[in-house]
Structure 1
């Protein structure tokens, strides 16, 4: 059984303080053409932060050219994935490019920790490395199998 709770999350604009500190000047998140550059992206609902991630290529990581986001149907396809949660929250994406992937990883961590410092918790949706044979993947598989046995889905 699930229960609804209220939590505090930052708005995308409230991340700008940490971005300005990181870059040494004001920077804004973009919503236009996704560049094939490293950077950080933020998924949000009504400007409230849902997920913060980084990528070596924003265009490859965030674009939906193959329809993996648009084609996912939460009511018909159960999965413990970031995409599933982004669809449930009807999230939209904004991003900022960085000089390289190492900087993107650093900025991602800083924005997540800024969110945690301001609200007491990280963003609502959490991404993990789910590589084949990883402990994370094994835990996900176990939970999915339990869900199927318990709820028949």
Structure 2
């Protein structure tokens, strides 16, 4: 697997486990990966597979596009617990500073809870309340980080 494919798999997996956004620029045609509680995924595990991932980060602005992908992730850390499944047909997002807008079609389903965050999604539709406020409908949505 190429370096960019590994970055894409890790980006989707870390998002599933811990709501962590990836960093940097990469472009991968296809990717897949699994990790369990190692130095990169403490207290979590994920399995992902996808086709097409593009990310371009330039200062506070980031553009991201994903093709079909699927995954499952479980995360448990000092900041809370998270269980999420992901089935996404396509998505494109742009973020500028604390705000992110996404247009896509997904059936993400799961929940996370922590001292500063609560999130629930069913078939890509849900809400996030706390440090990050957001709404989504079938994979299209908007979120804003408060701090």
Q: TM-score, normalised by structure 2?
A: 0.25
Q: TM-score, normalised by structure 1?
A: 0.25
Name the one with the larger strand percent.
2
Name the one with the larger helix percent.
1
Give the greater-gyration-radius structure (CA).
Answer: 1
